[in-house]
Structure 1
């Protein structure tokens, strides 16, 4: 009887230990931030995020995609903050290209706990992405500045300059459906950059022709971002959605 009693006690202890370990595991899992907001850059809309969106949704994330107008930097920041405010808790804010400048400002929203830059601008206080681009000249020569104050990319050169690696038919469609962007948006002076107070992650696109990869590396180093480099074009978020989503998942594991 004593032997049976000892085994029963051991089984009870093992059961309690198993429950404690399981509870600890789920507690750690629950620390992951489950809300992600994806912010597109200039000349495109949010549809390019679909590959990243699909990967994250399958992993159980709640993903929102902004659709700002590219008419004004301040209005674009307001549009992104509108989506951030709709989140039911803390979120990871992700920006591509010009979207990086937007999240550098919108990232000050209290609900944002981490920033992910994807081949994106991350200006400091008093800087603009336009001036930083002059300091680190990009490879592309296809920008067309309209007399009405809006810029767009020469459709014939869009696939090679902007969308390298994207299937030809898709890249051609993107070229013909691009959204002209107000030139003044690129000259917005950044105030109170969020990356100075919040953790950041960065995807450097090593074959980027729109933003000089060395500028991307400077941004990442200055912000002390956790960084990966991908041999991809400016459209790394479309051509390499798994790598980009993977970094976002890493960012989401920070404690709330």
Structure 2
């Protein structure tokens, strides 16, 4: 074999090694661009157990999922409860909120560990706004809210299924109606300061048959936040996170992909 042949073989081997190195580096980069921590935040009148199916789907895919349990007593206390869970994460996380939980993550999402926000039929008020105020601008269809003389709100159990969970089986809806958590009315009037969605990327799910939050208000929130992705679920009630767990999980998973453009202008 002559010198030129030897040089050609060495050059070919070097080329193969370079290609393999690039392939391995690219594969490793793709793996490293996926966030594995997810924090789920429930809304008013319920607790974190409603996230169970979403939790199971995500954990089966290898994500580390934590469920915060706001007490629904004060807005500041609920934000602190969520931030405590965020600060337990071992790295960046995606923060997910349903309903009133959206207002909570709008503030808690300013934490440096939060890389993105996912709103599931949730409030996303701007600076100086409250969810109660926005609800007046976009009236919802529900007629079941009971305001107690002690400052605590409750959903009439007889109307819970029709207003809150219209697409759940009756037995499940009745159980939720009779196990609901009263919520302090004051939390709905909290004025948002420095909303995180102005600087963090957003993904939004609209429940098209929502009677608790007007779907048009949800659409406004999603558009105003320049959401990376907006998903509308046909026939979904306010309980969309329970009745459509796969679609909710899929949206959250899309938010964990750091390879997508995630920068936002203020």
Pairwise same-fold verdict (TM > 0.5): yes
For residues 38-95 of structure 1, the C-alpha deviation after alignment (integer angstroms, 9 at most, x for no partner) is 0000000001011111111111111100011101111000000000111111111000
Alignment map for 1:200-211 (pairs within 5 Å): 200-211=202-213
Tell me which of 120, 145, 156 is aligned to 1:143: 145
Aligned residue number for residue 125 of structure 1: 127
Question: Aligned pair 1:230/2:245, yes or no?
Answer: no
Tell me which of 174, 177, 198 is aligned to 1:175: 177
Structure 1, unpaired ranges of 5+:
none
Aligned residue number for residue 190 of structure 1: 192
Following the alignment from structure 1 to structure 2, what is the Cα–Cα distance between the partners of residues 162 and 140? 8
Q: SS where residue 117 of structure 1 aligns?
A: strand
For residues 148-204 of structure 1, the C-alpha deviation after alignment (integer angstroms, 9 at most, x for no partner) is 111111111111211121222111111110000000000000001000111111001
For residues 88-131 of structure 1, the C-alpha deviation after alignment (integer angstroms, 9 at most, x for no partner) is 11111000000000000001111111010000000011110001
Question: Aligned pair 1:30/2:32, yes or no?
Answer: yes
Question: Aligned pair 1:244/2:251, yes or no?
Answer: no
Alignment map for 1:10-21 (pairs within 5 Å): 10=12, 13-21=15-23
Following the alignment from structure 1 to structure 2, what is the Cα–Cα distance between the partners of residues 145 and 97? 18
Tell me which of 48, 51, 54 is aligned to 1:52: 54
Query: What is the root-mean-square deviation of aligned Cα atoms in Å?
Result: 1.7
**Structure 1 residue 22: deviation in Å?**
2.8
Question: Aligned pair 1:159/2:145, yes or no?
Answer: no
Following the alignment from structure 1 to structure 2, what is the Cα–Cα distance between the partners of residues 233 and 23? 45
Following the alignment from structure 1 to structure 2, what is the Cα–Cα distance between the partners of residues 164 and 5? 74
Following the alignment from structure 2 to structure 1, what is the Cα–Cα distance between the partners of residues 7 and 241? 61
For residues 200-233 of structure 1, the C-alpha deviation after alignment (integer angstroms, 9 at most, x for no partner) is 1100111101000000000111111121111111
Tell me which of 243, 257, 262 is aligned to 1:253: 257
Following the alignment from structure 1 to structure 2, what is the Cα–Cα distance between the partners of residues 121 and 165? 21
Q: SS where residue 113 of structure 1 aligns?
A: strand
Following the alignment from structure 1 to structure 2, what is the Cα–Cα distance between the partners of residues 100 and 213? 14
Comparing 156-165 and 115-124, the one that deviates more: 156-165
Following the alignment from structure 2 to structure 1, what is the Cα–Cα distance between the partners of residues 7 and 175? 74
**Structure 1 residue 11: deviation in Å?**
5.7
Following the alignment from structure 2 to structure 1, what is the Cα–Cα distance between the partners of residues 41 and 19? 44
Structure 2, unpaired ranges of 5+:
none
Q: SS where residue 209 of structure 1 aligns?
A: coil
**Structure 1 residue 8: deviation in Å?**
7.7
Aligned residue number for residue 95 of structure 1: 97
Q: SS where residue 133 of structure 1 aligns?
A: helix
